[in-house]
């Protein structure tokens, strides 16, 4: 059984901070569960372009409001607490929080925590070594 609290993640190398968002990586590839879980806060008024070409991501909104745009179709969906969107087709997308939004994100394959978005908003596919952690 794995039990963790967000306070254990604060200000560690699993707590990634940018001008637009903050992501606390709670479960990572080294946990060997087949997925990773993050709490991500997106700041009000920011524009965030993402493209997970190597991952499927599910995003559940727990606080705040905003919108997500599918960059391929131009379709815009309103987001509020209780909304979920799933990027199941390597969807290029843009997230525009109207208020600060808190989300819970699940990635498959799991991220290691070392990924950074490239110029296209893509996380590289990094595979965790098979060495026990």
CATH 2.60.120.10 fits 14-108, yes or no: yes
HSE on the CB side for 15, CA within 13 Å? 8
In the chain, domain spans: 14-108
pLDDT digits (tens, 9 = 90+) for 66-92: 999 999 999 999 999 999 999 999 899
pLDDT at position 125: 60
pLDDT of 133: 41
> What's the pLDDT tens digit per position in 82-127?
999 999 998 999 999 999 999 999 999 998 876 665 566 556 566 6
Instruction: Tell me the β-bridge partners of 67.
Output: 78, 96
pLDDT score recorded for residue 129: 57
Taking only Cα atoms into account, the Rg of the chain, rounded to an integer number of angstroms, comes to: 14
Interval 5-40: pLDDT, tens: 999 999 998 999 999 999 999 999 999 999 999 999
pLDDT at 77: 98
């Amino acid at each position: 059984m794995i039990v963790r609290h967000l306070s254990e993640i604060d200000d560690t190398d699993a707590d990634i901070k940018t001008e637009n968002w903050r992501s606390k990586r709670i479960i990572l590839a080294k946990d060997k569960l087949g997925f990773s879980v993050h709490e991500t806060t997106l700041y009000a008024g920011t524009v965030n372009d993402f493209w997970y070409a190597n991952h499927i991501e599910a995003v559940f909104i727990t606080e705040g409001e905003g919108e997500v745009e599918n960059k391929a179709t131009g379709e815009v969906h309103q987001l509020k607490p209780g909304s979920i969107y799933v990027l199941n087709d390597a969807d290029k997308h843009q997230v525009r929080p109207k208020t600060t939004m808190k989300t819970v994100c699940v990635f498959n394959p799991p991220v290691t925590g070392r990924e950074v978005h490239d110029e296209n908003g893509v996380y590289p596919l990094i595979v965790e070594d098979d060495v026990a952690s």
